[in-house]
C-alpha cells in the first residue's frame, strides 16, 4: 500500500504587486515614521494595520504639500473613501526602527484616484511593504459617487501628476 503525502495548499501566483527594487522610488513623496509601541504586537513587530495607517498619513501629507487640505475637501462635501486596497508584506518592521513611507499618485481615471506605496528603510536598501490603493470621490451629503472631481481638486491632482512624470 503506497502512502500519499497530503499536498500542501498553495496560494495562486499574483501579479497585483510586483516586487520592485527600492531604487525605483526616486520621485515619490516621502513621509518618515518611527515605530512606536502602539504600532506593534507584543513581540515588537509592526501590526499589519499600522502600515495602512502610515500610508494614509503619507497620502494626506502629500496632498497637503501641494495645497490640498483634507478638511477643505470635507468642507465642500467631498470624501475620498478607499474602495480597493492591495498590500504585499515583504519583511517585518520592528519596534524603534525608522522607515520611509513613499507614495505617489499613479493615475486618475474619472473620479477614481490610484496611489502607489512603498515602505522602505531610511537608507533605501530594504523594502518592507508595497501597496496600491484606489480612492473614489464621494458626495458626502448624498452618499453617492461624484460624477466628476471638484475643479480645484482636479487641478491640484494634475499638478501632482506632472511632478510624478518628471
Q: Each residue of 27-43: pLDDT tens digit? A: 899 999 999 999 999 99
- Active site annotation includes 41: yes
Transcribe the chain into DSSP letters. Answer: -PPPPPPPP-PPP--SS----GGG-TTSEEEEEE--GGGB-TTSBBPHHHHHHHHHHHHHHHHHHTT--HHHHHHTTEE--EEEEEEEE-S--BTT-EEEEEEEEEEEETTEEEEEEEEEETTS--EEEEEEEEEE-EETTTTEE-SS--HHHHHHHHHHHHHHT-
Predicted pLDDT of residue 16:
43
**Better-scored residue on pLDDT, 42 or 6:** 42
Predicted pLDDT of residue 35:
97
Catalytic residue among 41, 72, 79, 141: 41
CA 34, chain centre distance (Å)? 17
**Better-scored residue on pLDDT, 154 or 43:** 43
pLDDT tier at 84 (50, 70, 90 boundaries)? very high
Amino acid at each position: 500500500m503506497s502512502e500519499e503525502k497530503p499536498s500542501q495548499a498553495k496560494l495562486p501566483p499574483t501579479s497585483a504587486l510586483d516586487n520592485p527594487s527600492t531604487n525605483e522610488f526616486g520621485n515619490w513623496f516621502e513621509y518618515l515614521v518611527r515605530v512606536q509601541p502602539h504600532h506593534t504586537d507584543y513581540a515588537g513587530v509592526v501590526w499589519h494595520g499600522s502600515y495602512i495607517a502610515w500610508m494614509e498619513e503619507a497620502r494626506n501629507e502629500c496632498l497637503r504639500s501641494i495645497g490640498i487640505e483634507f478638511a477643505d475637501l470635507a468642507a465642500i462635501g467631498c470624501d475620498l473613501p478607499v474602495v480597493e486596497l492591495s498590500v504585499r508584506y515583504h519583511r517585518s518592521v520592528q519596534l524603534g526602527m525608522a522607515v520611509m513611507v513613499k507614495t505617489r499618485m499613479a493615475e486618475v481615471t474619472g473620479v477614481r484616484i490610484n496611489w502607489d506605496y512603498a515602505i522602505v528603510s531610511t537608507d533605501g536598501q530594504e523594502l518592507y511593504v508595497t501597496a496600491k490603493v484606489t480612492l473614489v470621490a464621494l458626495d458626502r451629503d448624498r452618499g453617492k459617487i461624484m460624477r466628476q472631481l471638484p475643479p480645484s481638486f482636479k487641478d491640484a491632482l494634475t499638478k501632482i501628476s506632472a511632478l510624478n512624470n518628471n
